[in-house]
Amino acid sequence: MTDAETVVTGFLTALDELDIDTALTFLSDDIVYQNVPLPAARGTAVVEDQLRRVARLCTKFEARTHHMAADGDVVLTERTDLLGIGLWEAEFWVFGTFRVEDGRITVWRDYFDWTTVLAASAVGAGRGALLGVRRLIGRSSGGGT
């Protein structure tokens, strides 16, 4: 694993743990973060605000890396990301591009298909509703969860 890959892996691991303080240590002061095609967030203060909002909202986040490749200071990831809020979970494919300079991430761009995200969100809502109903039925009948 290259130094750049180690930095990206450490960053994604911190996000998996919703440990924003640790995740921020991997970012340069002039970080550019973009969920393409949305506008880019520039600078650690703006990116920190976005990450903390996600961490407050989400009860679960996973970045399951399937493939990682590096060419010098550029790291490419093919991942499945999972977002969870209570009983709701959505999994979707993500392609990430990271640029690492002097041991810090200066560019982080994630690409994904919005249709897939919306479909995963709908499936997650259905599963969450089903789990909620099952829990209610279990409680009302005196059974376990």
- Residues labelled catalytic: 81, 110
Q: What is the DSSP letter of 124?
A: H
Rounded Cα gap, residues 86 and 106, in angstroms? 32
- Write out the two tokens for 49: 């605000």
DSSP E strands: which ranges in the chain?
Answer: 27-36, 41-42, 60-71, 74-85, 88-101, 104-111
Q: Collapsing DSSP states into helix, strand and coil, what is residue 40? A: coil
Q: List CB contacts of 37: < 8 A, sequence separation 6 or more.
A: none
Residue 20 and residue 17: Cα distance in Å, rounded?
8
Spatial contact of 68 and 82, defined as CB atoms under 8 Å apart: no
